[in-house]
């Protein structure tokens, strides 16, 4: 990515075809698609890229077995098509960034013959809908096979399990890879740039966005022929800026996750808890060396803070422990995170857990604002395709076909699962660091490690016993627009998800490198470290650690 200064330079003099507001999955997907179709595109993000919902997902690339169940029980053809399209997108997401996404087998425990038949038929239907995008056939495992494969399962009444496959991915890094690819195609992404208002022309159409630069405190104007509102849970706010008093469309649902050490009694497969006390599903998924457990589902408003509360952690553990031989304890929790699902409301009656995860592209005919509402990570590309088709129509441009279904993201070129061995050989680093870098950056890991040629000290771990190295901090600042300690530890290296304690311990070293790179004064460096450490301490207190 270019530096912020380079992107800022000349923005006000430029005129863009498209300004995308929001730098999560939806915005990044729209920006890349537009730029690849030849539209001069800028993306502005109020915080850091992927700082909201897009780094807080359950990390599944899925059609959604629960949505399929709803489609059948409610004879809802629309819901059925949502699942089918997501299954097609699942394959595309896996293929376009193989270093960030992989196939995952999920095990569904059954405690009666009836459950075996029910889930077997359901998963066969899921296979059938996947068609040629199937990842692997679902199958039934006997009680003995199930316990061999997942020894931590409660054996008591277990009759057997059903195994099926979906995808899983590193959401924060996938978001960054989308923006890296966007930049390589000539696009301009800018973080810490919040849209605070619009200017309209004589016919009432948006022609300019007023943007607040969160780092310098200055204001700038961005001129564009079209504006996409891809602000996820915040989309009603932008709709209201474009057309004051407009009817709100979103319902928000909070989902919390906790992470536990893998030795807490797990294996390489994921567990699907098919029915919680309140009739939902919960996943326990091996993810980047941890067991990720989630999620809750509670209707919230924008004023609610996205932190994991003690009772939410306890709820998740209670639901999971009913299926485990040895119960997991809250003291084992190493970190957690929460996000807001942006769900498009069709009426007032349904509870948020029943609202479909479909998307809608809305064009406000008076202002011309194009809002992309709802959806899920798995369908970000299809949402972007619909949105950019709409932009081209809106701009009365000849239709240019979308090419993102077959456009590999930066880092994928020449990558294979054994790529990490090249890094060990060429840069003399540990296998753990090589695997970590290979899965975070793909082949761009070489660019990260090239930084260590002049400065071998950058090969040192960010914090003792971590696979992350200091070179990632320098790379994050220079190439990925990271400007705070949290940008690095949460969304560039992922250490904050791996362990709050390790992330807190890493803050001084990360702060020192960032101070050098960004020219912070000693006082600014001290404040940045303190602020980060206090934030982590607070998260730990709220969850009861």
Ligand X SMILES: Cc1cc2nc3c(=O)[nH]c(=O)nc-3n(C[C@H](O)[C@H](O)[C@H](O)COP(=O)(O)OP(=O)(O)OC[C@H]3O[C@@H](n4cnc5c(N)ncnc54)[C@H](O)[C@@H]3O)c2cc1C
Residues in touch with ligand X (CB under 6 A): 21-27, 44-47, 51-54, 56-60, 62, 194-195, 230-234, 238, 255, 295, 339-342, 375-378
Neighbours of 520 (CB within 10 A): 16
Q: How far is the CB of 191 from ligand X (least distance, A)?
A: 9
Nearest to ligand X of 234, 420 (CB atom):
234
Neighbours of 459 (CB within 10 A): 17
Distance of CA 4 to the CA centre of its chain: 22
Q: How far is the CB of 519 from ligand X (least distance, A)?
A: 25
Question: Greatest CA separation found in the chain?
Answer: 73
Nearest to ligand X of 255, 336 (CB atom):
255
DSSP 59-108: -EE---HHHHHHHHHTT-HHHHHHHHHHHHHHHHHHHH-TTTEEEEEEEE
Q: Which residues pair with 336 in a beta bridge?
A: 258
Output phi, psi for 104, to 5 deg.
Answer: -135, 135
Nearest to ligand X of 22, 411 (CB atom):
22
Q: How far is the CB of 250 from ligand X (least distance, A)?
A: 10
Residue 267's contacts (CB-CB under 8 Å, 6 or more residues apart) are: 149, 150, 151, 152, 286
Nearest to ligand X of 259, 513 (CB atom):
259
Nearest to ligand X of 84, 143 (CB atom):
84
Q: How far is the CB of 382 from ligand X (least distance, A)?
A: 11
Output phi, psi for 330, to 5 deg.
Answer: -60, -30
3-class DSSP state for residue 424? Answer: helix
Nearest to ligand X of 52, 423 (CB atom):
52
Nearest to ligand X of 78, 414 (CB atom):
78
Q: Contact at 8 Å (CB) between 209 and 197?
A: yes
Q: How far is the CB of 329 from ligand X (least distance, A)?
A: 23
Q: How far is the CB of 29 from ligand X (least distance, A)?
A: 8
Give CA–CA dist 385/398, Å, rounded: 15
Q: Contact at 8 Å (CB) between 258 and 308?
A: yes
Q: Which two tokens stand for residue 6?
A: 């380079």
Residue 235's contacts (CB-CB under 8 Å, 6 or more residues apart) are: 22, 229, 249, 250, 342, 371, 372, 373
Nearest to ligand X of 70, 231 (CB atom):
231
Q: How far is the CB of 132 from ligand X (least distance, A)?
A: 21
Q: How far is the CB of 118 from ligand X (least distance, A)?
A: 23
């Amino acid at each position: 990515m270019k530096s912020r200064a380079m992107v800022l330079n000349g923005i006000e003099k430029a005129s863009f075809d498209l300004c995308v507001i929001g730098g999560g999955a939806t915005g990044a997907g729209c920006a890349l698609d537009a730029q690849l179709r030849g539209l001069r595109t800028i993306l502005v993000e109020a915080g850091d890229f992927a700082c909201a919902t897009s780094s807080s997902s359950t990390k599944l690339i899925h059609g959604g077995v629960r949505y399929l169940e709803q489609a059948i029980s409610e004879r809802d053809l629309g819901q059925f098509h949502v699942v089918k399209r997501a299954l097609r997108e699942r394959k595309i997401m896996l293929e376009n960034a193989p270093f960030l996404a992989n196939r995952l087998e999920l095990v569904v425990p059954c405690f009666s013959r009836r459950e075996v038949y029910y889930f077997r038929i359901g998963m066969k239907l899921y296979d059938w809908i996947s068609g040629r995008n199937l990842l692997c056939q679902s199958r039934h495992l006997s009680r003995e096979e199930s316990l061999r494969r997942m020894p931590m399962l409660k054996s008591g009444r277990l009759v057997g399990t059903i195994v099926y496959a979906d995808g899983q991915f590193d959401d924060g890094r996938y978001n960054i890879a989308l923006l890296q690819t966007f930049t390589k195609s000539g696009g301009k992404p800018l973080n810490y740039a919040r849209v605070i208002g619009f200017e309209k022309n004589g016919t009432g159409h948006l022609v300019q966005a007023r943007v607040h630069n969160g780092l310098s405190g200055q204001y700038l104007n961005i001129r564009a022929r079209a504006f996409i509102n891809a602000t996820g849970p915040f989309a009603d706010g932008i709709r209201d800026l474009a057309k004051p008093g407009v009817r709100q469309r979103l319902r928000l649902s909070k989902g919390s996750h906790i992470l536990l050490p893998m030795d807490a009694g797990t294996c390489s497969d994921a567990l699907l808890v098919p029915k919680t006390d309140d009739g939902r599903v919960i996943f326990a998924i091996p993810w980047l060396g941890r067991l990720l457990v989630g999620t809750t589902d509670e209707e919230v408003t924008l004023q609610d803070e996205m932190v994991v509360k003690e009772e939410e952690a306890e709820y998740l553990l209670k639901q999971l422990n009913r299926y485990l031989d040895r119960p997991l304890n809250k003291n084992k929790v190493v970190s957690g995170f929460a996000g807001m699902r942006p769900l498009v409301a069709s009426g007032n009656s349904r509870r948020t857990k029943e609202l479909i995860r479909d998307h809608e592209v809305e064009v406000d005919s008076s202002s011309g604002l194009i809002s992309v509402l709802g959806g899920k990570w798995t369908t970000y590309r299809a949402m972007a395709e619909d949105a950019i088709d709409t932009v081209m129509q809106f701009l009365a441009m000849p239709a240019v076909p979308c090419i993102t279904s077959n456009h590999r993201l930066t880092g994928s070129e020449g990558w294979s699962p054994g790529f990490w061995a090249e890094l060990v050989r060429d840069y003399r680093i540990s296998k753990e660091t090589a695997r970590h870098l290979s899965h975070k950056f793909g082949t761009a890991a070489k660019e990260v490690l090239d930084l260590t040629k002049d400065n071998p000290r950058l090969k040192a771990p960010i914090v003792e016993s971590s696979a992350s190295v200091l070179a990632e901090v320098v790379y994050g600042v220079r190439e990925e627009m990271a400007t705070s300690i949290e940008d690095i530890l949460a969304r560039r290296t992922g250490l904050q998800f791996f362990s709050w304690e390790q992330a807190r311990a890493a803050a001084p070293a990360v702060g020192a490198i960032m101070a050098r790179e960004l020219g912070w004064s000693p006082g600014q460096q001290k404040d940045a470290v303190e602020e980060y450490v206090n934030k982590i301490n607070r998260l730990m207190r709220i969850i009861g650690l």
